[in-house]
Amino acid sequence: MTENMRESMEYDVVIVGAGPAGLSAAIRLKQLDAELSVVVLEKGSEVGAHILSGAVLDTSGIDALIPDWKSKGAPITVPVKKDNFYMLGAAGKLRIPIFLMPPLMNNHGKYIVSMGNVCRWMAEYAEGLGVEIFPGMACSELVFGDAGEVKGVVAGEFGKNSDGTPSDAYEPGMELLGKYVFLSEGVRGSLSKGVIAKYDLAQNSDVAKFGLGMKEIWEIDPAKHRQGTVTHTMGWPLNANAGGGSFFYHLENNQVYVGFVVHLNYKNPHLHPYMEFQRFKHHPMVEELLKGGKRIAYGARAITEGGWQSVPKVVFPGGALLGCSAGLVNVPRIKGNHNAMLSGKAAAEAAVAAIKDGRSGDELAAYETDLRSGPIAKDLKRVRNVKPLWSRFGLLVSLGLGGFDMWTNNLFGFSVLGTLKHGKSDAESTGLAADYAKIDYPKPDGTLSFDRLTNVSFAMTNHEESQPAHLHLNDASIPIDVNLPKFDEPAQRYCPAGVYEVVTEEGKDPRFVINFQNCVHCKTCDIKDPSQNINWTVPQGGDGPNYPNM
């Protein structure tokens, strides 16, 4: 069988990715016009399998989409009761009173949720409206029309040999064609990256910025569990090395989400984000909480941090970028799910109006207008200077200045700082190995802290080994010839799943090994490689992590 034998199916709207953005778009399309044909394609083995979020949910998105979500049984049941914020030193902590923070930072009225479970529920809701959802279908290519517009995607290609040739079990996949194609792939989507480059969508926006979020689910001693408590920390162990922070969200069943975010603009190529997370858990405050508990799941995902000034143009001929494919996270609030939902809703409304007018394959300008002037703009604009201030001046100054800026934005609707620029991309921020000290990380103790490969087994990730690696190098010589001498090949450390190794054997040249089977689809390599030589592409559908309730 060959690629030319692909069958095609036609829909009104084709949606790539069953996250909050894609599912919201699907639901809104069918709410507005039950006759529309809508398909959602998801690379995870089931909806929710690849969803990793905090998550404290600001319900403004779901309120706008499904106002009666409560009575419809949405798994949004743990209201935030207590909000803590600490600055950490190596052994101590300083509580920052919440009243010093602008109201937008307050988590009261929000809910602690598993976004994986919220997405599973939204998918059922969408199917009830007649949306077709196909999990296990990775969208690997875009299909273009004669005028250069996006008119569909290729999904469900299976059975390639490791050298890329078709095996006996080869399935060429299908072309799913639509009047409009929505890309809701989340952060650093592989098709979205291609579309942004092809249509030059980022020409008028600042560079994209990212963090790496790592997360464990812990089951803790019931005596220490405080359902509804949200705690954020900043400071140790990152300090001057890198920006970032942690979160603890006490959900139900004595479980706590323990998360750690490292901003990917760190300079020292010896920094090991995963090991920073592990040593963080030995802080007395954290140790006290987790002692006697057990880690039951692990995962990692990049998070978009560029904010308002980095949002690219979100429409292109034949489609639109939704949610984190457009970078809609409010960084100081660490929240993007509400904006993902609102973007899905707005794109759907624009598409329904266009289809009613007999249009297809053009730009949905109404969606761009809504995004630039509606609730998403309001949410992102007032925090737009926090990240650039942090990148320039570090944590303490940015807390003061960023806080002041958010207050003036909040009270008066303007910033005395205007809109600050981000400067370099995260890849360009990486400094030379020779200019920075190596960091000596304590060995994980196997109780509170774990080695990377043990933890990866708790992501339940799985990739069919006989397929080609889905992590492509533009130039196979760069890791050893360029990255190793200049940056001590940081892929060995920045990958939170231990995918990349430099193997040195006596009498032999060092080798760069890609253990793609371990990949948890976080996309950090695509973002942070200083030579921008790694392209993250989709493996065959159904492969990747199998997160329970992340």
Contact residues: ligand FAD, CB under 6 A: 16-22, 41-44, 50-57, 138-139, 184-186, 189-191, 213, 215, 259, 261, 301, 303, 323-325, 329, 334-338, 340, 538
**Nearest approach, Cβ of 196 to ligand FAD (angstroms)?**
14
Tokens of 298: 């692990």
Considering the complex, state which of residue 150 and residue 329 has its C-beta at the smaller distance from ligand FAD.
329
Q: Taking the complex as a whole, how short is the minimal distance between the CB of residue 362 and ligand FAD, in angstroms? A: 23
Structural contact between residues 103 and 410, judged by C-beta atoms closer than 8 angstroms: yes
What's the closest the beta carbon of residue 221 comes to ligand FAD, in angstroms?
Answer: 24
* Closest separation in Å from C-beta 21 to ligand FAD: 3
For ligand FAD, the closer of residues 402 and 496 by Cβ is: 496
C-beta closer to ligand FAD: residue 341 or 448: 341
Q: How far is the CB of 126 from ligand FAD (least distance, A)?
A: 13
Minimum CB–partner distance for residue 440 and ligand FAD (Å) = 26
By C-beta, is 195 or 420 nearer to ligand FAD? Answer: 195
Beta strands of 158-250 (E only): which ranges? 158-160, 166-171, 174-183, 210-219, 229-235, 244-250
Report the alpha-carbon distance of residue 509 to residue 530 in Å, rounded: 22
Cα 68 to chain centroid distance, Å, stands at 28
* DSSP for 75-113, written as a single string: S--EE--EEEEEEE-SS-EEEPPGGGS-GGG--TT-EE-
Rounded to 5°, angle at Cα 336 from 335 and 340: 155
Q: Which is nearer to ligand FAD, 181 or 514 (CB)?
A: 181
Sequence-ordered alpha helix ranges (H) in 464-519: 478, 484-487, 491-494
Question: Bridge-partner residues for 234, per DSSP?
Answer: 87
Q: Is the Cα torsion angle 21, 22, 23, 28 positive or negative in sign?
A: positive
Which has the closest alpha carbon to 317: 287, 268, 359?
Answer: 359
Q: Which residue number, 48 or 479, has a Cβ lying nearer to ligand FAD?
A: 48
- Round to whole Å and give the CA distance between 214 and 259: 6
State in angstroms the smallest separation of the CB of 28 from ligand FAD.
Answer: 14
Distance CA 320, CA 316 (A): 6
> 335 vs 382, which CB is nearer to ligand FAD?
335
How far apart are CB 22 and ligand FAD at their closest, in Å? 6
Query: In the complex with ligand FAD, which residue's Cβ is closer, 52 or 478?
Result: 52
Residues 61/340, Cβ–Cβ less than 8 Å: yes
